[in-house]
Amino acid sequence: MNSANQPGDKRYYELLEQLQAIDFVLVELNLYLDTHPTDRNAIEQFNQQTEQRWAIAQEFESLYGPLLNFGHSYSGYPWQWNNVPWPWQV
């Protein structure tokens, strides 16, 4: 975690908001694709949003530490999972 970037700074909130927006789109596309599994355009949109989400999550984690635990995110040294606030607390 870069010492210039602390949980709660402006970029922290910007990245979380971007993740929330993309997660909303991904849930909606997922629900749509459950009933329209052959819609190639929707699948392409889903994959593009997934790639964008991954990039934003990587940036967030490189600046502020893991978004998820149990092997879904890497941790720096020292162990970062117990750094607060956690993303869902803001």
pLDDT in tens, 10-28: 999 999 999 999 999 999 9
Asked if 66 contacts 73 with a C-beta cutoff of 8 angstroms, the reply is yes
In the structure, what pLDDT confidence band is assigned to residue 65 with cuts at 50, 70 and 90?
A: confident
Q: pTM score, two decimals?
A: 0.75
> In angstroms, rounded to a whole number, what is the distance separating the alpha carbons of residues 57 and 35?
28
23: Cβ contacts below 8 Å, ≥ 6 apart: 53
16: Cβ contacts below 8 Å, ≥ 6 apart: 60, 87, 90
pLDDT over 60 at 68, yes or no? yes
